[in-house]
Structure formats: structure tokens, C-alpha cells
A and B are shown apart, each in its own frame.
Chain A
């Protein structure tokens, strides 16, 4: 059992006009085996939460804490967080020219598992994982994310999720830019990962569409840098019907 515990987290970003507060007191616990959905309007800070957990250097944590199984995550470097079992599937995965998917994946898996997988076993494992996500094996030879369509990038993120097997997975707008078929394939990949590992999952999304494929246990509404309401899966249906308006107009001071 693992737990990611976020307590009264405040974070800011440096802008041309000085520091700007984005997270204003986020408190959230994600336990193994549970899937939390964070829903919120654009600009509410929900993607920032994902980046702050992963340790993106653009953001500064001004107060609060994040721990994974009691260990201070904020004291860890980005790669230490990954090796400790945190994974962020990014909304906009980055292109790295000249680095093949195969070499990148093997390097990442080596870092995550602490030793290089045997080459032949590894190729078999990688090819099976790719087939599960309906990715052609020629993907392995392509440069990391370079020239990938939106759907291809998201599949590669979920491929990594399955191979790296983190304790806690954070999926940032994984549904954006996907057609219905791709959304189904990617969601099935997430579900396979959840069942196989029993990991905790934090699903960040603007729309309820992906929640038809990945059922959340808990739904949070995010607005103005914090969680303003928490409920069960039915909360997503209310948001689908009524939109975010009632959460964005009623600001608690």
C-alpha cells in the first residue's frame, strides 16, 4: 500500500510581472487502488498541481507538503521522484530528436527497475506492451515523440506507464486530442495498469468523456488553485450537466 499525501500546498510561478500564486492550499490523499479525478475549468491550476508533484522547475512551492509513504517528495529531484514511484503522463509530451523510442524506454526502465532488463526479454516485453496499445512495432525505431500525432504521443505515455509501473500515476489531460477509438485504447491501457498494479491514480481532466472508460472512485472539483468540492462519480455527472459555473462564480475568500 502506498499513499501520496498532499497537505495545504501553495505554489507559484515566476512571470514577467513577478510571482503569481497558482496553487492556493491543495489538500489531497491518494491511496493505492483508488482513482481520483480532478476536474476543473481551464486555468484553474489543475495541470500545475501535476507539474508541482513531478517537480517541474518552473514552479516554486511556497508552503505545504507532499509525501509519498511518509517520505518528503518536495526534497527530491525530478528523477528521484520518478524512481520513488511517481509518474506523470503529460498533456504535451516533449520531442527529443535522435533518441529512439526503444533506447529511451530501455533507459527509463533501467532507471526505474535499478538494473537493465535482459535485451531479448526486454524486446519481447516492449513489443507485447506496444501491441496491447495497438501501436505498430515500427514505433520503437522512431525518434521520441518527433512527428507523432496527438494520439500517438498519448499512447506512448500510457505505454511508459505500463512499463514503468509506478506506485502513483498522474494523468494530465490524457484524453485531450484523442478521437473516440484512441480514447478507448488509451483508457483500456490505464485500466490494465490499474488492475495489474493496484496503483493509485490521479486523473486530471476538463471533460467527463474519459470517465466513461475509466471509472473514478472520487471526483474533485478544482477551481482557483484548490479543491472546492469532493464527491463520488455522480459529481462528474452534475458537472457534465451544469458545467463549472457554480464553482467558478462562488469564490470563497
Chain B
């Protein structure tokens, strides 16, 4: 017991923003923002590695530019992102021109050959552009850094991020999203691989009328830690945020953490916000932490809600399906597949919904099902 009582700050917003790594203390498990994190497995990110490489972004329309030439308005909010920002030599930049209507998804591959790598990717959607970007983050080593997303006024941007890779690796990623006037951002984050994966998605609105949808799916196997931290800062009127993350913990020792913070500021009248996290524990000895926080500074809003549920299979669902002749295995597979199909269906891209379902089914050892889409 400490003699000093520290009152936690009411404000959910990060307290330190700085380009200087020295402005941040080294994270420990006692820090509120790190208490769910396996700090030991992320410690490569707490000191600069002079031998570190940088993550290369490849894909149609991607420019690799020296970091010095990148005019980024985003300021790091933790030590790993500050170190990565200070030391990353090149950044990937994808600009979607104003008014552009891209009908095909753009694929961005993020790869590296170094043991430790820094990453900086900027996706900038011009005014009234419409595009889908698929970011494939494939981990062969440890990666820290950022994917910065800027959605211009009236633009509709969908970003599907798929994290895959070896269980020996770690990822510490900041994903700040700035949503312009009347713009819509739809994010889907699928964490299917990597050993210790900590992703913080932060939404900020630059003008009224923005809409941000953050959807996530994850699978955590033994020795995997999947952490999603979400911060939605409603500081503009008439904006919408919709957050839904679903995860399955597959084996003993699997860990996940989901922390969803939504802050509705005094001026953010007419806000609509809903966030939810659902976790399915498929084995004994796995653990899912789920912490939704909602802070309202105004009551003049349309709707605000949050929900969180972690559980095992619903016996009534399994009984119902079995009573129709499905074996217990078939019933479980149908339920798990449905659990994820439910959130993936909301991305609004059937091709990638099916692609991700296939990847998930594959990891779960489920025979894929023919879709009847008639």
C-alpha cells in the first residue's frame, strides 16, 4: 500500500504528446495504459535500436519518401511510437486524389527483413474521394510505429488491416484517424498473427458530421497476446462513432485485452456513439480483459452506449443446432463462424468479408462453407 493516493485523471485523453522520446517514461505494468500489456515482450520498443530497419510499404500508388520530407501533423503519444518516429528513415505515403472514385481495393504490403523495424505509413484521402485500402501487415520481426489515416471532407475511406505473422514477433502500432467534415471512415482490423500485438486506434474529428466505424476481429492462440486500445475523441458536433470488436481465444495461455475509451466533449452535441466488445473463450486457461469506458461532458447527444461480454459457447445455441442433426463440432464451427461473420458483414465489402472468414476458418480448422448468396 502506498501512502500517496493518486486520483486517476477523469480525462481519457492521452496526457503526453511529443516528438521527443525522452518526454515519455519507460512503460511498466503499473501504468494504467500498460497494465494489460506484456511489457516484457514489448521491451524492444522502449529503447532505440541502432540496427533497426524500416518497414517497406509496397503497392500501386504508394510512394516511399524520406521521413524528413513527410509533413505529418500527428504527434506520438507513447514511447514506442516516439522512438519509431524519431528513427524511421522512410515513410510510405498513399494519397487518394480529391474526387477520386477507386472501385478496386488498393493493396498495401508492409514488410521488413530486420529483426526490429520502425514503421510510418500515411494514408491520405482527398476531399470527396471514395476508396478501399487493404493493408497487409506481415510480421517477420518486431515492428513499432504508426499508420496515420486522414479522411478529407466528404470522403469515404475504408481501410482493412490484416495483421499476420510469426508468434515470435511483436507489434506496437499507433493508428490515429482524423475524420473530416461529413466524411466516413470504416476501419476493419483483423489480428490473426503476431505474438504480442498492441494496436491503439484513435479517432479524432476535424469538423462536424463525421462518421467513424471501427470493426475488429482477432484470434488469440497460446502464447499470443492481442491488445486493442480504442480512443474516440468526440470534440465536434453531430459526429458518429460505431465500434465493434470480436475475438476468440483458442487455447490455454491465450490472452486478449480490449480497452475502449469514448470521450464526448462539451461541444460535441448531437453525438451518436456505440462501442462493444465480445469475446468467445474456446478453452480453459485463456483470458480476455474487456474494459469499455464512456465519459460524457454533455447530455445533449443522440445516443451513447457501450457493451462488453466474454463467455464460452452458448449452450442453448449448441443445443438448438444439434437438435437439427449437426454434430457438436459442426455446431461449434457454425457458431464461431457466425460470431465473426456478424462483424465482418458490417465492413461493407463482401470480397474481403469472405477473404477474412476464410483465413479465420483456416486458423480454426473449419472446412469452408459454400456461400449461398442468392
Interface residues of A (CB under 8 A from B): 54-57, 77-79, 81-83, 87-88, 90, 93-100, 102-104, 106-108, 111-112, 119, 123, 140, 143-144, 160, 164
Contacts and interface: CB of A to CB of B under 8 A. Distances in A.
Interface residues of B, number: 31
The 7 A-B residue pairs whose C-beta atoms are closest, nearest first, are A98-B338, A111-B325, A98-B342, A98-B341, A99-B338, A82-B325, A78-B322
Contacts of B315: 57
Contacts of B325: 79, 82-83, 108, 111-112, 164
A96 B320 contact: yes
A199 B74 CA distance: 70
A103 B322 CA distance: 15
Contact of A97 (B323, B328, B342, B371): B342
Given A100-B372, A107-B334, A119-B370, A94 B339 contact: no
Contact of A99 (B316, B335, B343): B335
A79 B334 contact: no
B113 interface: no
B14 to A, nearest CB: 34
A116 to B, nearest CB: 9
B374 interface: yes
A144 B338 CA distance: 10
24 contacts: A56-B319, A77-B328, A79-B323, A79-B328, A82-B322, A82-B325, A88-B323, A94-B316, A94-B319, A94-B320, A96-B317, A96-B320, A97-B339, A98-B342, A99-B334, A99-B335, A99-B338, A100-B372, A104-B321, A111-B330, A112-B324, A112-B325, A143-B342, A164-B324
A95 B341 CA distance: 14
B321 A96 contact: yes
B337 interface: yes
Nearest to B357: A98
B338 A77 contact: no
A99 B320 CA distance: 13
A99 B341 contact: yes
B326 interface: yes
Contacts of A143: 338, 342
Interface in B189-247: none
Contacts of A102: 372, 374
B256 to A, nearest CB: 19
Nearest to B315: A57
Contacts of A90: 320, 323
A78 B369 contact: no
A64 to B, nearest CB: 21
B188 to A, nearest CB: 15
Contact of A78 (B323, B339, B343, B374): B323
A98 B340 CA distance: 7
Interface string B334-368: 11011111110100000000000000000000000
Contact of B322 (A77, A106, A144): A77
A174 B43 CA distance: 60
A69 B109 CA distance: 61
A142 to B, nearest CB: 12
